[in-house]
Amino acid sequence: MKSETLKTKAPLGFLIHEVARLMKRRFEDGARSQGLTLPQWRTLGQIALSERATQATLAAAIDANPMTMSGILDRLEKRGLVLRAVDPNDSRAKVATLTPEGEALYHKARALGLSTYETALEGVSPADRETVMACLSRMRDNLSGQTADQKEPA
């Protein structure tokens, strides 16, 4: 009973964290079923959505360091999911593109993502979905660019 009370009166931050954690777990399970790690799964998605997927831009997009991203790309390339070539705009950099196999796996990931979102939003009206999106977008915008040492308004 006590944990039920805690769940029903959970602060917004706790609920946001719990929803994100549970969604991440679903995505990790899906990635594992394809023999991928979640960072590899996310990297495939970023390459598919990017016109110019350099190691640096991919690392920033999935919040990884460049050396970690290099390892992720190495593993994806060895599996035949990604090709890397010299960036025509910067000979020191390489750009990553999906192979047909990588493209097919990306579409599986996208379907899993949409299914996960729909499961999470079951019973939530379209109007409530828009409200949640607007509120979360506002919260993100309010916090963007703030560092931990910046004083929060009272």
Residue 6: pLDDT band with limits 50, 70, 90: low
| CATH no. for 14-120 | 1.10.10.10
Please check the confidence at residue 104 and state whether its pLDDT lies above 50: yes
| C-alpha angle 21-22-27 in degrees, rounded to nearest 5 | 95
63: left (phi over 0), alpha (psi -120 to 50) or beta: left
Domains in the chain: boundaries: 14-120
Per-residue pLDDT, 150? 54
Percent of the residues in the chain that have a pLDDT greater than 70, as a whole number: 88
Instruction: Look up tokens 């110019």; give the residue.
Output: 52
User: Quick check: 10 pLDDT over 50?
Assistant: yes
Would you give the DSSP letter of residue 11?
-
Q: What value, to the nearest 5°, has the Cα angle with vertex 114 and ends 110 and 120?
A: 145
